[in-house]
Chain A
């Protein structure tokens, strides 16, 4: 059954072509059937492939298939080939399944929209690109998927393109991630130049043979790939595009944040983990970036009014956890958190979308209230998603995956107390900011009457994702619950186990206990500040220092401001001043020369036959002369 692998990206790709060409002339119903059905089919096929992979594992727990060779010219070979192992199996299953639920939800969310078929065409292409990225057996094909994802995010963020703000947000996302992509391409060149192949397994084998641990080349290659990952996964210092990316339709946000796009960077690092293992400084950088990002984004999330922006910062923060896990070598913990995050973040976005549509497109949580009674299913969905995000102990999935990451950040050889404490503070912040949203928007007095309460196509995905946000954590039960690590055992066939060193006085049970305490602290704070004593935060923000911090956090620590002053303004200024420098002169000169050549040569095309004949004769004479003299 593993031969079906190639079908998984092919189905959404063909439905994209179908929708792009015939979509505008199709009935809405047909668009829904094709747009959603293709992803459903893709999810079913990946389910079959996963079942086959687990029940009868292929030799070496990996399956490689070259569908065709794109080209092979003088040593450079580009294949369209797929590589299936535990890592890509888990990723693909989660991506297609969550994407299917989001597509289903979209049929209701987008029902009144003009660009209905365009929306589904883009979404299908998005999924196809992401699956290609994950299944690619070589970095070139991976890069194709990578760029496809980037293109689709641009198209979807700017989906309502008549509003210039959306177009601006789309361009920002595209340009900022481009910085990372450029770094990644250079990394690809370096790897191909030094190792002579782009096939991921081959290059990792060759790298271990040729490069000692800590070799400068390995560090450079890993750092360049990290640059790409940081851009796509919205980590420091390239995280600024993600909050603005909320301009797109909410299902798009769900897709970008949960199943696709931002997790691409995490996947890239996990996929090429051997390269990173050869470069300890880069590993450290990954961990530090992750820890710093999760704290900074967590603080920013505390101050946002826009329900979607809170979720955007929470995504940045949660991907920070995954980076932290990758950085300390807890590969499987990162993928575990990717999976649980995919479920609960998709759930949160879908619930937020339902809230926004029920509240006349209102995004500000402080203008909402009392939604708990009015749209109960959405409330419960958001509550479960929020609990999973914050890590409600024992019940929700987020608790297990986050616990594993924190334990890794303490116990792995690359880890230590600093990273662990950063993660712990993050837990408290997460719990505080998400319960802030829940208490403010869903409790208290109703402020806006509900219209468009969610119907079946919206509720069903929310219910399914709620169930998954709870149950997915049980795939990896920690020691005090029997130490049944089903998912980890599967992932260990593709990724190395996390090494444990002498850990001091804290055991895994202790770590989990302290996380619980951090969670409760955040919850109680949120309860006190936002439910019991509304307005209790006012004294905090009334003094100058408090206001300054609030402003700073609200503006994402001023990154946009700094980039604007440091990069955008100088570049624009320089471009203005330097409109006519010598480089331009050179190109202008080239253009002028080309034009002059065109005129001179055109004059030879006189239409006179004797002149044409003379050219033939003249040319022959010159050539005879050359042949005889040389």
Chain B
């Protein structure tokens, strides 16, 4: 049974789960986009605030399924904050489209709940539950602008491929369960050490198949194929959500899973992750090289960035958790910011995705071009942005465990990456001021999204200049 302290510990999750329910009831009575957004933000803010209440009682094991500790709370915070930003961006975007708007937030918060469950999961059952809560909401979110063919395509592709990878995941879990007889991460490590003979032959393929399920969600090579098509078809705020919240929740789980199961001791598994990291870094950056669709560029870039994060992860040591978490936070801010610019530039007819739409943006909308530049510089990893500290951390973590091949690939692929980010930056500043037509005023409905962008830009620089307080929080958070 759940103790009182346990209830307090899962308060953030309860509030996250309660928000969609409240939304559904309200919508049934009265439709109002503004109210739906307000309620969503209220619920998310309450959940965010409850993190401090929960922080007093952690670590707590709540049933066999969830483990709420400082680490989980940090990731809750990231997930909730990112969802707030996405909701803010989505408001203006949805206003431009003739769709039912209120349900969007139900799906969004439900998906965030799924990601949060993943971050706290210490059991295969909660793993799968969290994953499906997240995925099923995402199917609908991807295809939310259902009048568009590309959106439907994105939804269906994501549905089929996610189902296929989930099948592998389930099969992998079943094999592991067959080998060790438990689904809880806590005991698995010891039991796995003892397995030998035919059981070991079951165990190892099981572990590999679980990697497939995780790799799909993290969009790692070779499970990455869906990424560009889905990012391109989905509404930009949803793409930002998939790139951050969905991946962040899964990465949190991956770290916990890896440490609890002590998978560092399994050379073949580490080898598989090394291959994946190298393939993701090179593949992601090379695929983006001459791409002219900004959404696809960001999709490929996110593949590469997950590869970078894996470098720190493979490098091991407790510096790794610190490095990965900081890297993910920097990545969250940056990717949401970049997709935020795409969102704010989009209109009812089409999204601002071709590079052509960004040519000479500086001369028309200098502030927006400035935000985009800041985000791209952070993705490259230029000092004074959060991206620099993140990358520095990753390289330091890699160097401290002498993972030189990985670091060399990271450096090479980063320089390839700089090429296409700079291509976008050049486009932003191309063209003389007199040739550009008079700027279209920022649509008032995008005002909310614009303020989100301002906050993200300030956050980006703040984290780049003064990361100490955040690092202090991260250092205290280790996966248990």
Contacts and interface: CB of A to CB of B under 8 A. Distances in A.
Interface of A: 68-74, 76, 594-595, 597-598, 601-602, 604-605, 607, 609, 611-613, 615-620, 623-624, 626-628, 630
A106 to B, nearest CB: 27
B209 A620 contact: yes
B212 A623 contact: yes
Given A73-B392, A597-B286, 12 more contacts: A69-B468, A70-B465, A70-B468, A71-B471, A73-B393, A74-B397, A612-B161, A616-B164, A619-B215, A620-B208, A623-B211, A630-B268
A602 B293 CA distance: 13
The 10 closest A-B pairs by CB, nearest first: A619-B222, A612-B225, A630-B268, A598-B289, A73-B396, A627-B204, A627-B268, A623-B208, A620-B212, A597-B286
B223 A615 contact: yes
A506 B207 CA distance: 88
Given A70-B466, A70-B467, A595-B289, A612 B283 contact: no
B269 interface: yes
B226 A612 contact: yes
A602 B204 CA distance: 32
Contacts of B216: 616
B132 interface: no
B157 A598 contact: no
B269 A627 contact: yes
Nearest to B222: A619
A623 B157 CA distance: 23
Contacts of B211: 623
Contacts of A602: 287, 291
Given A70-B467, A71-B389, A73-B393, A626 B271 contact: yes
Given A71-B467, A595-B289, A624-B208, A609 B160 contact: yes
What size tier do the contact residues of chain B reach? 35 or more
A628 B164 CA distance: 22
A611 B161 CA distance: 11
Given A71-B392, A73-B396, A607-B229, A616 B222 contact: yes
A619 to B, nearest CB: 4
B66 to A, nearest CB: 28
Contacts of A605: 225, 228-229, 287
A266 to B, nearest CB: 28
Nearest to B270: A630
B272 A626 contact: yes
A624 B269 CA distance: 10
Contacts of B161: 609, 612-613, 616
Nearest to B201: A628
Max chain B Cβ within 10 angstroms of own Cβ: one of A598, A607, A613, A619? A619
20 contacts: A71-B471, A74-B397, A74-B399, A598-B289, A601-B283, A601-B286, A602-B291, A605-B225, A607-B229, A615-B225, A616-B164, A616-B222, A616-B225, A618-B222, A620-B208, A623-B208, A623-B272, A627-B207, A628-B268, A630-B267
Nearest to B285: A594
B458 interface: no
Contact of B287 (A76, A598, A607, A626): A598
Contacts of A618: 222
B205 interface: yes
B400 interface: yes
B168 interface: yes
B267 to A, nearest CB: 7
B290 interface: yes
B416 interface: yes
Contacts of B291: 602
Interface in B155-190: 156-157, 160-161, 164-165, 168
- Interface centre among B156, B204, B215, B216, by most chain A C-beta atoms within 10 angstroms, is B204
B319 interface: yes
Contacts of A601: 283, 286-287
B209 A611 contact: no
Contacts of B268: 626-628, 630
Given A605-B225, A616-B223, A598 B286 contact: yes
Interface in B265-280: 267-269, 271-272, 275
A612 B157 contact: yes
B81 to A, nearest CB: 22
